[in-house]
Amino acid sequence: MKFIVSTTTLLKSLQTIGGVINSSSVLPILEDFLFEIKGGKLTVFATDLETSMSTDLKVEAKDNGRIAIPARILLDTLKTLPEQPLTFKVDEKTFGVEITSETGRYKLSGENPDDFPKIPQPEAVTEINIPASALSNAIAKTLFAVSNDDLRPAMTGVLFQVSPEGMTFVSTDAHKLVKLNRADVKTAKAAQFIVPKKALGLLKGALPVSDSGVNVSYNKSNAFFGFDNTLLICRLIDANYPDYNAVIPQNNPNKLGINRLEFQNAMRRISIYSNKTTYQVILSIAGSELKISAQDLDFSNEANERLTCSYEGGDMDIAFNARFLIEMLGVLDSNDIEIELSTPTRAGVLRPTDKKEHEDLLMLVMPVMINA
C-alpha cells in the first residue's frame, strides 16, 4: 500500500483527534492511529475504548488498505517537517512503514490493523442538528462545573436534554450547578443522555469556529458528533442524573446587580488573603454598597474592598468559596450580572443581565458557613 499526503494537512488532522489517545494505555494498539484508505480517501481513527475520533482527508493513492501506526513517533516526526508531500509505503505482510520526504527517509514498525478495536457504528439513532457555535458555547459554560468524583458517575458528565420545547445542558458537582437552555434546538420526542467530560473537552477543541451545523445522533449506549470531516463517538454514562431542579431555589427576594469584571477582579484580589482550605470570602450587602472581605487567621492575613452595586432586599452577609465564584464569572460573557439570594444558608443564583437570543443561562453556587 502506498499513498502521498501533505505534511501540514496530515499533522492538522492527527492533532485534531490525537487527544483521544492516552499516554499509558493498557493495550499497546490504543497508542496507535488506524489509517484506512478507500477510493483515494484516507480515514484516520483514534480510540481509548470509551471515546473514538476519526477524520477524513484526500490523498494520492491507487490502492486500498489499512495499517496501525504508533501515534507519538508519527506526530513528533510531522511536527519537525516543513510543508511538503510525504510518501507512505506500507508492507502489509510485516506492517513496516516507510515515510519518504524531500530530504529523508524514516522507517517505523506499524501493527496489525485487525487488532485495532472496532469503532461503534450509529445504529437505531435519533438525530438532531446543532449550530457549532451554540454547542461550543454550551460546552464552555457547563464543562467547568462537572464533578471529578467517580463515586457519582452521573455527575462526571454533562446532561443533554432534548424536547419539543428546546434543549437543556446541565452540569453540577454538588457545590455549583449550571443550567443552559437553548430554545432554537428542538426534537419531536423528549430524551436525555449524559456525555462524559473527556469527550466534551475533545469536542470543544475540535469544533469549527464557523456557524456550520453539528450532526448529533444518539442511542442508548453512544453519542455521535459529526462536523466537517471529523466524527467523535463516545460511550454515554449509564446512570440516572440527579433531580437538579429540586436544588434551584425559586423564591429569591434579594437581588444584587453588579459589573461582572469589577466583581471578578475584586474577588481575585480578596481571595489571595482567604484561608487556603476553604477559600471563604464574605459578601456584606447594605443599600448600594457591597463589601467583600476575607481573612486567614493562621497567617494573620486579611483584606476587604467596597464596590458600588444595585441591590433590592434586606441587608445580609453571605459567604462563598471564592474559586467557585471566580470560575463562574470567568465563563460568563455578560457585562453585568445579577445574583439572586434568599438567606445566608441557601444557594445563590447567578444570571447574566445581557440576555442572548434563544439562550437562558442560570448558575447556582452553594454558600459556606461563616466562621464565628
| Residue 294 in domain | yes
Band the pLDDT of 148: cuts 50, 70, 90: very high
As a whole number of angstroms, the distance between CA 309 and CA 119 comes to 54
How many angstroms separate the CA atoms of 365 and 360, rounded? Answer: 17
pLDDT at 274 over 90: yes
Domain boundary among 61, 90, 115: 115
Q: Is the pLDDT of residue 372 over 70?
A: no
CA distance 313 to 253: 6
What pLDDT is attached to residue 26?
A: 83
User: Do 75 and 154 belong together in one domain?
Assistant: no
* Residue 163 maps to a domain: yes
Domain around 358: 248-365
Give burial (CB, 10 Å; 0-12/13-18/19+) of 20.
Answer: buried
Residues 76 and 157 in one domain: no
- Given a cut of 80, is residue 258 above it in pLDDT? yes
Rounded to an integer, the average pLDDT of 13-26 is: 91
pLDDT category, 319, cuts 50, 70, 90? very high
Residues 164 and 219 in one domain: yes
Three cell numbers at 203? Answer: 469536542
The verdict on 239 and 131 lying in the same domain is yes
**pLDDT class of 159 with cuts at 50, 70, 90:** very high
Whether residue 92 sits in one domain with residue 22 = yes
The pLDDT of residue 370: 83
pLDDT at 59: 95
Q: What is the pLDDT of residue 371?
A: 66
Domain shared by 145 and 80, yes or no: no
Residue 210 has pLDDT above 80, yes or no: no
Same domain for 345 and 282: yes
Compute the mean pLDDT over every residue in the chain, rounded to the nearest whole number.
95
Of the chain, the percentage scoring pLDDT greater than 90 comes to 91
The answer to whether residues 180 and 240 belong to one domain is yes
pLDDT of residue 295: 94
User: Which helix (H) or strand (E) is 321 found in, with range?
Assistant: strand 316-321
- Asked if 97 and 132 sit in the same domain, the reply is no
Q: 372 in a domain, yes or no?
A: no
Q: Judge whether 288 and 309 are in contact, CB under 8 Å.
A: yes
Q: Kindly tell me if the per-residue pLDDT of 298 is higher than 60.
A: yes
Q: Which ranges constitute the DSSP H helices of 246-347? A: 260-271, 322-331
What is the pLDDT confidence band of residue 142, given thresholds at 50, 70 and 90? very high
229 domain-assigned: yes
* Residue 120 lies inside a defined structural domain of this protein: no
Residues 15 and 90 in one domain: yes
The total number of structural domains that make up the chain: 3
Domain of residue 218, CATH code: 3.10.150.10
Q: What is the pTM of this model?
A: 0.93
Residue 169 falls within a domain, yes or no? yes
Domain co-membership, 151 together with 233: yes
Does residue 13 or residue 23 have the better pLDDT?
A: 13
DSSP-assigned beta bridge partners for residue 232: 53, 225
- pLDDT over 90 (residue 358): no
Instruction: For residue 76, give Cα distances in angstroms to 14, 70, 71, 170, 218.
Output: 11, 11, 9, 38, 35
If you average pLDDT over residues 224-230, what whole number do you get? Answer: 95
In a domain, 272, yes or no: yes
Whether residue 370 lies inside any domain: the answer is: no
**Which DSSP letter does residue 368 get?**
B
- Report the run of H or E that residue 179 belongs to, with start and end: strand 176-182
What average pLDDT does range 138-155 have in this prediction?
96
> Cα separations (Å) of 344 from 95, 225, 244, 282, 319?
66, 42, 20, 10, 7
Determine contact, residues 256/339, Cβ cutoff 8 Å.
yes
Query: What gap in Å lies between CA 98 and CA 33, rounded to an integer?
Result: 15
Residue range 162-188, pLDDT digits in tens = 999 999 999 999 999 999 999 989 888
Give CA torsion, residues 13, 17, 22, 26, to 10 deg. Answer: -100
Q: How far is the C-alpha of 13 from the C-alpha of 11, rounded, in Å?
A: 5
Quick one: 102 and 179 in the same domain? no
Cell of 20: 483521544
pLDDT digits (tens, 9 = 90+) for 22-35: 987 789 999 999 99
Contact 274, 268 (CB under 8 A): no
